[in-house]
A and B are shown apart, each in its own frame.
Chain A
Amino acid sequence: MLSLGSGGAKSTKPSFVSYVTPEEIKSEKDPPKQEKHPDLLPGEVEFCSANPILKYTQDDLSQRGVFGTLFCTNFRVTFISDEKPQEKTDKTFKNKLYGENDIPLMCVDHIYGVYDEKRKLITGGLVKNKYPSKMIIHCKDLRVFQFSLTFSKEEDAKKIFQGIAHHCLEEKSLKCVFAFSYMGTPKMQWKQETVMFDSPEDWTQEMKRTKANCRLVTENENFELSQRYFLQLLLAVESWIFCLQSLFNVFFFVCFFFVLENSTDFWLSDVKWFSSLESSGWLDIIRQCLQKAVEVVECLEKDNTNVLITEEEGTDLCCVISSLAQIMLDPYYRTLMGFQSLVQKEWVAGCHAFLDRCNHLHQKDKEYHSPVFLLFLECVWQLVHQHSPAFQFSETYLTVLSDSVHVPVFSTFLFNSSHHRESVMKAESPLAQSGPLSCPTVWDWSVQFDSKAQNFFFNPLYLEKVKHDRAVRKPHKPKHQRNLSLPSTAFKTPPKKGFFKDETDSLKKMLRVKRLSRWRGSPDAPAATTREFFESWQHRPLDYHGLLLPCLDGPAVHIWMQRYLRWIPEVYILGGGSVAVMTKLMELLSQVQDLKRVLEQRDSSQAAKLDHRPYFQHRLLSFDSSGRLSSSFPFAYTCYRSFKPIIPTGLMQSLMVTDSLASQEDEASSVVSFV
């Protein structure tokens, strides 16, 4: 029983002791004899393992857990329970590459060791000496794993600890990334609908689609000059000064609030939740990015000014701002394929330095690390959250995409530029003659999810544009086609920086220069004109297929709950949350579709008269209707929590000191004592 009330909460940092002694385990049950091994992916190699390891159950304070074997492979850290797997854990939303007890090596964020009840961040130096009694792994997807190493043989424990620490923390070369060993080939040929922007044809196509009035420069085909594609040269901005390091710090700070190891930490941090969130500055950065994108949109819409977004290398915040602006302007980028093409165009072909920014190789030099892509996804999430019917993809899609960045299988996030990719692939390919090695792209979702699970990527509320001519798929034609496709000015060749600087300078001279505000470290009050721009947009009837602007007032900007809170059992609403509504919607949708089918079968001429409203094309999500779903669905599905409510502790933390009002009586006239 939890202790309640003001004094009830444990106010000290919990000590990480196991309350289960080895004797207790033995008495609990006999250790299983047969050895279990993980199902290895093609190309996956097991490095080391240890048994028995206790994996603590996260959602309770009693420090109980499950015994099993811990493995480290060239792909992941994985835990296999000694207990028989429960048969009913067949879930619709299952990742084929890794499960709930797997941590891809790239996904490990920090490892802590508990030595004599003292907790230390594991870095290279600590590994050599003794191993900790408890190992805590914080993941980049915000999961937390806690393993006790005290029950297995000393050398096994030491080996597994050192193995995990080495493979997760030590600097390594790109060649060692699992993607280069992965031999998985998708069963079906991947139907490529996403425009990859790796050929001039793709660019020509995109220019046609957007009716852009520009010339494709192909003289750079062999990446001699730099990898760049100017669709239009757009101008107006002064360079953006923003320190990526500070973005990294802010993000580190914000993650700190979400990676929670136990209930006590959760309730202690709950009291100051809002102010902590604010002081992290993360939401402000999101607001500023969206604000800048709105300013860019405003220039394009109102003044017909072309916009050139520049920063030192043009491949970080430029990508964020230009991608966001395009999503606001062009409904095509709000479809799943369109969005993927946009990421491909602005980020992958646009030379965002994924490898450095995500720090896949654990380089010690922190200067280059920065969660820029995640920042972008979170900005997109704000748009999805505010204007849900305008987006074909769901928030689950964005969450999964954000996770996929740390799955070392996809070529998409492994390189710093297309040039980098080409050269590495050429070098790594065992048979250089027969073409480069092929890693799957993240857009081939069949690598991770079966088609049923992929249905969760689609937003059932998407208001598809009714197509009058079903045969010919018309390109979306927003009214402001002129400036639609904003390329991030994709230069990424540090040695030649000077050249581009000169080039842009001369461009600035040629074109009328209008300066937008610079990026500033502190939140800017939006320019009055931008405010007006938003308000005039707001006064017009909302068109989900037209221009879309975000509301940036305080109460309108939220934290990405699904991504950040999905592993925290304290916030699961059993039988509630938006999934409850979605389940109802899906049930009704399938009823309607069934009815329609029956009617069509009955009479084909009748069917012609039936509705062809867009929602009939929606994919059905299969919700497990047998149990009550929790608000964290489709993530953290295996939450078999009881129906007992979670009662907050530490309630009085901040309310203790109120003014004299608190001690006043409710009624002006005090109680009269009866005798």
Chain B
Amino acid sequence: DASGDFSKNNTCKLTFLVTDWRPSYYLFLYFLLFYSSDKDIIYICPFNAAVKGKVFITNYRLYFKNTDSTPVTLDVPLGVISRVEKMGGASSRGENSYGLEITCKDMRNLRFALKQEGHSRRDIFEIIFKYAFPLSHGMQLFAFLSQEKYEENGWNVYEAMEEYRRQVLPNSEWRVTFINKNYELCDTYPTILVVPYKATDEDLRRVAAFRSRCRIPVLSWFHKENHAVIMRCSQPLVGMSGKRNKDDERYLDLIREANGTTKLTIYDARPNVNAVANKATGGGYEGDDAYQNAELVFLDIHNIHVMRESLKKLKDIVYPNVEESHWLSSLESTHWLEHIKLVLSGAIQVADKVSSGSSVVVHCSDGWDRTAQLTSLAMLMLDSYYRTLRGFQVLLEKEWISFGHKFASRIGHGDKNHADQDRSPIFLQFIDCVWQMTKQFPTAFEFNERLLVVILDHLYSCRFGTFLYNCESARESNNVRGKTVSLWSFVNSDTSLYINPFFTPESSRVLYPVASMRHLELWVTYYIRWNPRILHQQQSPVEQRYKELLAVRDQYLKKLEELQLSDSTHLTNSSTPNAATPNQHITHLQTPF
């Protein structure tokens, strides 16, 4: 859970909040206390009714601790808050009718009630409003204030050149270009791009003119054996008149030629009708006659607005109470899992095509939402490196962060406009897809569910710089690397928490999940984690058993080693032939470990 992982790492500094909340303990280096309620505030807990307690607010979090007998604590990073509202007025009647309602981005709402005397809620409201939305108040995000120190610098996890070299790039078919080193070609792309060897920088510029926001087709992943590639880009600017661009057509043909694919497959993530409708605003898709060596497939994934509404509906049925009488049909009517199914099956098609030796181009409208979902999921299926703890970090850094998924707009970090139409849970949906895959292949991933939850928690928390800003150029101009801590510094400082004990490395295996509703499940331990009534085991019984056995095995091995050691000293003294037999056993046994 969110609070748990936080205190784990900063145990010495932060446990005071959990164990002792007297004011004298609050002030320390970089967590500033702004508010502490001198009178009891009532937290209207949807699961335990009303709980009396005290609220403390620092520049990072809101903290609530009960003062009555019901043991309830809340530890909410302010970044998680999407909306604060006053409820009731000074004249409101009825118990607990005067107070605050806080809507969070992580599937919960918090309600506090105060006494209706002396504008008691004014202070707390203003402080939350100010510090939960610092950007709307001309202040900095918390990540820039935090001075956490970790042994490892997580900003070094991803170096583009290193990752391309891992993929055996550049090579005779693909070259690295620095055309975008000042973000002149495309301001939402990273500086280092991989393009067909035969395409000149001049070609790239001309192609950029025909692609929405200049996001030209660039390489995401290269198949070492069959040399097929995954390319990503935005839609072509075909428009109502059906414009053509010879340079773009030739460029796509260069991609096809690179490994001799007979027909290049273009996956347009959108539903067909939407792609057509995009022509009205200057966009569109690759027409048959213009791109004769290409085959266009629509993957029918809906846009960010549909996804936002779907998640909203999901929240309605799981928080605060789980819909009881018609759980399954309610779940179905949110369409959340159906969208997951569509995204997964799109990625399966991409991965299948590539592993069969054909190169693919993936795009949606701008190539930073659905496209990122599809390329990164396909890469996760194709390349076992991305299923390791380190590799997964690289995957996120590369496909999502460096290629400009608009985190700032989609999440609305530090911004008070909760109803902003740009917000959408695209990244959450991707992580959900990853979770579905880890569920179906419990031995294929080095990391566990906890990592996914931590990533989502810090997607909102603003404690780390990793998910801030919309693209690399914005990150660079704000010196995110220099001024903030990376989430990976935090994660990699104690990896044992995120390791899946069942992980079995298998390098050459393509992982195809089953994208059927029969297997897709609601991620209860994320979406319904605030509800104490839903059973979720801290650790799965299998995992617990496995870890116990590992400990026993290590204990036995140690014992054997000790015995061997005493044997060898024994053997030098006496030469009894019997002693050899168990030794043979031991060597035989040790090989599998």
| Interchain CB contact (< 8 A) of B509 among A266, A272, A570, A575 | A575
Interface mask (A580-618 → B, CB under 8 Å = 1, otherwise 0): 111011001101101110110111001000110101000
Q: Contacts of B550 on A, CB cut-off 8 Å?
A: 588
- B571 CB–A CB distance under 8 Å: no
Contact A565 B556 (CB under 8 A): no
Contact B345 A283 (CB under 8 A): no
Contact A274 B502 (CB under 8 A): no
- B78 CB–A CB distance under 8 Å: no
Taking A585-B542, A588-B553, A647-B352 as contacts, is the C-beta distance between A570 and B332 under 8 angstroms?
no
CA distance A661 to B369 in the complex (A): 16
Taking A270-B516, A279-B329, A667-B366 as contacts, is the C-beta distance between A662 and B274 under 8 angstroms?
yes
Minimum Cβ distance to chain B for residue A596 (Å): 6
Interface mask (B527-571 → A, CB under 8 Å = 1, otherwise 0): 010001111000001100110111011011101100100000000
Contact A661 B303 (CB under 8 A): yes
With both beta carbons as reference points, the residue of chain A lying nearest to B308 in the complex is identified as A661
Q: Contacts of A570 on B, CB cut-off 8 Å?
A: 514, 516
Minimum Cβ distance to chain B for residue A636 (Å): 14
Q: Contacts of B440 on A, CB cut-off 8 Å?
A: 573, 576-577, 631
Contact B325 A523 (CB under 8 A): yes
Minimum Cβ distance to chain B for residue A372 (Å): 24
| Interchain CB contact (< 8 A) of A576 among B444, B522, B532 | B444
B-facing residues in A359-416 (Cβ within 8 Å): 386, 388-389
With both beta carbons as reference points, the residue of chain A lying nearest to B209 in the complex is identified as A674
CA distance A606 to B237 in the complex (A): 77
Of B105-113, B167-175, B489-497, B582-590, the one contacting chain A is: B582-590
- B12 CB–A CB distance under 8 Å: no
Taking A588-B553, A645-B351, A661-B303 as contacts, is the C-beta distance between A277 and B589 under 8 angstroms?
no
CA distance A665 to B278 in the complex (A): 8
- A273 CB–B CB distance under 8 Å: yes
Contact A615 B282 (CB under 8 A): no
Q: Contacts of A645 on B, CB cut-off 8 Å?
A: 348, 351-352, 512
B-facing residues in A614-648 (Cβ within 8 Å): 615, 631, 643-648
Contact B515 A613 (CB under 8 A): no
Interface mask (B274-288 → A, CB under 8 Å = 1, otherwise 0): 100110011100000
| Interchain CB contact (< 8 A) of B328 among A267, A274, A601, A663 | A274
A-facing residues in B320-347 (Cβ within 8 Å): 322-333, 335, 337-339, 341-342, 345
- B22 CB–A CB distance under 8 Å: no
Contact B237 A611 (CB under 8 A): no
Contact B345 A648 (CB under 8 A): yes
- B441 CB–A CB distance under 8 Å: yes
Minimum Cβ distance to chain A for residue B83 (Å): 20
Q: Contacts of A278 on B, CB cut-off 8 Å?
A: 326-329
Q: Contacts of A589 on B, CB cut-off 8 Å?
A: 549
Contact A599 B556 (CB under 8 A): yes
With both beta carbons as reference points, the residue of chain A lying nearest to B519 in the complex is identified as A571
| Interchain CB contact (< 8 A) of A671 among B282, B510, B522 | B282
- B292 CB–A CB distance under 8 Å: no
CA distance A603 to B560 in the complex (A): 11
Minimum Cβ distance to chain B for residue A600 (Å): 11
- A28 CB–B CB distance under 8 Å: no
Q: Contacts of A516 on B, CB cut-off 8 Å?
A: none
Minimum Cβ distance to chain B for residue A610 (Å): 8
CA distance A275 to B333 in the complex (A): 9
B-facing residues in A260-283 (Cβ within 8 Å): 266-267, 270-275, 277-279, 283
With both beta carbons as reference points, the residue of chain B lying nearest to A670 in the complex is identified as B281
- B164 CB–A CB distance under 8 Å: no
- B88 CB–A CB distance under 8 Å: no
CA distance A632 to B593 in the complex (A): 29
Q: Contacts of A674 on B, CB cut-off 8 Å?
A: 209-210, 237
Minimum Cβ distance to chain A for residue B192 (Å): 24
Contact B589 A595 (CB under 8 A): yes
- B422 CB–A CB distance under 8 Å: yes
Contact B302 A658 (CB under 8 A): yes
Taking A573-B513, A576-B440, A671-B281 as contacts, is the C-beta distance between A592 and B556 under 8 angstroms?
yes
Contact A571 B322 (CB under 8 A): no
Q: Contacts of B278 on A, CB cut-off 8 Å?
A: 665, 671
- B182 CB–A CB distance under 8 Å: no
Q: Contacts of B533 on A, CB cut-off 8 Å?
A: 534-535, 538, 551, 553
B-facing residues in A5-48 (Cβ within 8 Å): 5-6
Minimum Cβ distance to chain A for residue B34 (Å): 34
Contact B442 A648 (CB under 8 A): no
- A245 CB–B CB distance under 8 Å: no
| Interchain CB contact (< 8 A) of B282 among A578, A595, A670 | A670
Contact B443 A666 (CB under 8 A): no
Contact B545 A648 (CB under 8 A): no
Contact A277 B514 (CB under 8 A): no
Contact A664 B303 (CB under 8 A): yes
CA distance A520 to B210 in the complex (A): 66
Contact B335 A388 (CB under 8 A): no
With both beta carbons as reference points, the residue of chain B lying nearest to A283 in the complex is identified as B328
Q: Contacts of B309 on A, CB cut-off 8 Å?
A: 659, 661
Taking A278-B327, A461-B542 as contacts, is the C-beta distance between A654 and B516 under 8 angstroms?
no
Minimum Cβ distance to chain A for residue B63 (Å): 24
Taking A645-B348, A664-B303 as contacts, is the C-beta distance between A584 and B502 under 8 angstroms?
yes
| Interchain CB contact (< 8 A) of A5 among B300, B509, B518 | B300
Q: Contacts of A664 on B, CB cut-off 8 Å?
A: 303, 305
Contact A655 B335 (CB under 8 A): yes
CA distance A667 to B283 in the complex (A): 12
- A668 CB–B CB distance under 8 Å: yes
- B357 CB–A CB distance under 8 Å: no
CA distance A285 to B331 in the complex (A): 19
Q: Contacts of A613 on B, CB cut-off 8 Å?
A: 548, 552
- B504 CB–A CB distance under 8 Å: yes
Q: Contacts of A121 on B, CB cut-off 8 Å?
A: none
Q: Contacts of A582 on B, CB cut-off 8 Å?
A: 542
Contact A602 B553 (CB under 8 A): no
Contact B559 A606 (CB under 8 A): yes
Taking A554-B322, A581-B442, A588-B553 as contacts, is the C-beta distance between A654 and B303 under 8 angstroms?
no
Interface mask (B398-436 → A, CB under 8 Å = 1, otherwise 0): 000000000000000000000001100000000000000
With both beta carbons as reference points, the residue of chain A lying nearest to B240 in the complex is identified as A673
With both beta carbons as reference points, the residue of chain B lying nearest to A653 in the complex is identified as B338
Contact A671 B549 (CB under 8 A): no
- B212 CB–A CB distance under 8 Å: yes
Contact A603 B542 (CB under 8 A): no
- A555 CB–B CB distance under 8 Å: yes
- A97 CB–B CB distance under 8 Å: no
Contact B281 A585 (CB under 8 A): no
16 further A-B contacts with Cβ under 8 Å, apart from A592-B556, A611-B552, A673-B237, are A6-B272, A270-B518, A278-B329, A551-B534, A576-B443, A580-B443, A581-B502, A584-B546, A589-B549, A595-B553, A606-B559, A643-B512, A664-B305, A668-B421, A671-B365, A674-B210
Closest 8 CB pairs of A and B: A554-B327, A645-B512, A673-B282, A670-B281, A278-B328, A273-B517, A274-B332, A661-B305
Chain A interface (Cβ < 8 Å from any Cβ of B)? 4-6, 266-267, 270-275, 277-279, 283, 386, 388-389, 460-461, 463, 523, 525, 534-535, 538, 551, 553-556, 561, 565, 568, 570-578, 580-582, 584-585, 588-589, 591-592, 594-596, 598-599, 601-603, 606, 610-611, 613, 615, 631, 643-648, 651-652, 654-655, 658-659, 661-668, 670-674
Chain B interface (Cβ < 8 Å from any Cβ of A)? 209-210, 212-213, 235, 237, 239, 271-274, 277-278, 281-283, 297-300, 302-306, 309, 322-333, 335, 337-339, 341-342, 345, 348-349, 351-352, 364-366, 369, 421-422, 440-444, 502, 504, 509-519, 522, 524, 528, 532-535, 541-542, 545-546, 548-550, 552-553, 555-557, 559-560, 563, 582, 585-586, 589, 592-593
Q: List 13 A-B contacts (CB under 8 A).
A: A4-B349, A271-B338, A277-B328, A386-B535, A551-B534, A555-B322, A575-B444, A581-B546, A592-B549, A595-B560, A602-B582, A662-B274, A668-B422
